Structure 1
Amino acid sequence: MPEPDPAHLIDLSDVGRTYDDGPAALSGLTLRVRRGEALAVLGRSGSGKSTLLNLLAGLDRPSTGRVTVDGLRVDRLSEAACAKYRRSHVGMVFQFFNLLDDLTVLDNVLLPAQLAGADRTAAAARAAELLDRLGIARHARAHPGRLSGGERQRVAVARALMNRPPLLLADEPTGALDSASGADVRELLRELNAEGQTIVLVTHDLALAEACATRTIELLDGRIARDVAAVTR
């Protein structure tokens, strides 16, 4: 296999993933994503989208091939090293937010920094910066259950960005939102990418892909069936 190119944040080479005796979730997948790209991953249920996201997050391991993110061979990391990798290299945004309802907005955002053992003063300053940047500073002392769906997703994005990860993974980030909140999150992701954040998002929302992605791939039966760069955005 060729050596990873440092210009690419993500470098997957001939990746396959099978589970027990079932069909391959991914088969011979080779994918490179440059730093600063926003990649939308489309495909039907069962096409391999979630498996791809889990491999990038270090939550799963390939059966064959190589997964390299930011120069790290993620497929070779121990469980402890994978946990450290996720804290420092990956921010994750989910369809249903995955916020802790018994913590305030501020404490939810601070959680990744606390798990990473960051300096408290620096972490508090970073959290305040993110809450202000994302327009939710007024909710810092509120609990997530009192916020709208769009506001909760902004909290989730702030939490994902807390440790300044080079890679932001988003799994159906507008899937649980109404149309207005979905448009709000699309604009937020577009702005983050314009500022240089590398994003990989899995979505069925074509409007999200068209608004945010600089490149779109479509998976079919664990393989890339289409790979298209955006002409304009």
Structure 2
Amino acid sequence: MTQVIELKGVSKRYDNAGAPALGPLDLTVAQGEALAVTGPSGSGKSTLLNLVAGLDKPTEGTVTVAGQRIDTLGEHALARYRRERVGMVFQFFNLLDDLTVADNIQLPAQLTGTARGKAAARAGELMELLGIQKHARAYPGRLSGGERQRVAVARALVNRPALLLADEPTGALDSASGQDVRRLLVDLHRSGQTIVLVTHDLALAEACASRSVHLVDGHVALDSRTEAVR
């Protein structure tokens, strides 16, 4: 089975005198897998996500994503890696308020050099898939939290990334919008999208993930699989 993520002997220290924030650990995520990373605050969840996203570098070990060793890349190459191979969804959406929904979604594609017409067609496809096509000309500030998170997911998927990273994607939403995003993540996983979800919400992890890794003090305390995503 193809591995989308492969961490070998990875550790991250922010203070040479203290214990590592993460690791050392080995971790693989297979293509099409939906992995939920859970654990208490300070357990290393965000550190793990940042290493996979190329936003931080390990103190020791290697990080390979989609066949590319990313821990040795410079900043320019890492920016390209994030644009082309990774889609990211954040707790607070990070949409540009002065761009329409359609333009927010198209922006990452245009940054990779995709022709405007092709980017617009891909954005239209995603808006229809995610049920937000009626908001194409609207601005994010006029949408509900759940709708804005759908826009953020569409933006993350516009370049057909090998990996979707979601950092507390329901953390800023009310319960109804959270359920909406939960169903969306389930549907994306069923379609074959590889997902790594960082969350404090165990119900979200149980509903969306085919596998869960629970971190404690930077180490994997539990690595479990579920039979099916509901």
Question: What TM-score do you get using the length of structure 1 for normalisation?
Answer: 0.96
- Identify unmatched segments of 5+ residues in structure 2: none
Distance 1:27 1:48 in 2: 8
1:204 has 2:200 as partner: yes
Q: Which of 10, 21, 28 is equivalent to 1:15?
A: 10
In the alignment, residue 102 of structure 1 is paired with which amino acid? D
Q: How far did 1:23 drift?
A: 2.7
Secondary structure at the residue paired with 2:71?
helix
Partner of residue 3, structure 1: none
In the alignment, residue 10 of structure 1 is paired with which amino acid? I
Distance 1:65 1:204 in 2: 27
1:110 has 2:106 as partner: yes
Distance 1:167 1:91 in 2: 6
Distance 2:21 2:31 in 1: 26
In the alignment, residue 231 of structure 1 is paired with which amino acid? E
Q: Which of 26, 33, 38 is equivalent to 1:42?
A: 38
Q: How far did 1:232 drift?
A: 3.2
Distance 1:114 1:20 in 2: 39
1:163 has 2:141 as partner: no
Partner of residue 62, structure 1: 58
- The 5-angstrom pairing of residues 24-173 of structure 1 reads 24-173=20-169
Q: How big is the alpha-carbon RMSD for the aligned residues of Structure 1 and Structure 2?
A: 0.9
Q: Percent identity between the aligned chains?
A: 68
**Residues 31-67 of structure 1 deviation map (CA, whole Å, 9 limit, x = unaligned):** 0100000000000111000000000010100000010
Aligned residues, how many? 228
Q: Which of 169, 190, 195 is equivalent to 1:194?
A: 190
**Residues 185-217 of structure 1 deviation map (CA, whole Å, 9 limit, x = unaligned):** 010000001000000000011111111100000
Distance 2:213 2:15 in 1: 27
In the alignment, residue 194 of structure 1 is paired with which amino acid? R
Secondary structure at the residue paired with 1:95?
coil
Distance 2:159 2:209 in 1: 23
Secondary structure at the residue paired with 2:6?
strand
Secondary structure at the residue paired with 1:75?
coil
1:218 has 2:214 as partner: yes
Distance 1:27 1:122 in 2: 42
Distance 2:119 2:142 in 1: 24
Q: How far did 1:144 drift?
A: 0.4
Runs of 4+ with >6 A deviation: none
Secondary structure at the residue paired with 1:232?
coil
In the alignment, residue 9 of structure 2 is paired with which amino acid? D
Partner of residue 183, structure 1: 179
Question: What TM-score do you get using the length of structure 2 for normalisation?
Answer: 0.97
Q: How far did 1:119 drift?
A: 1.2
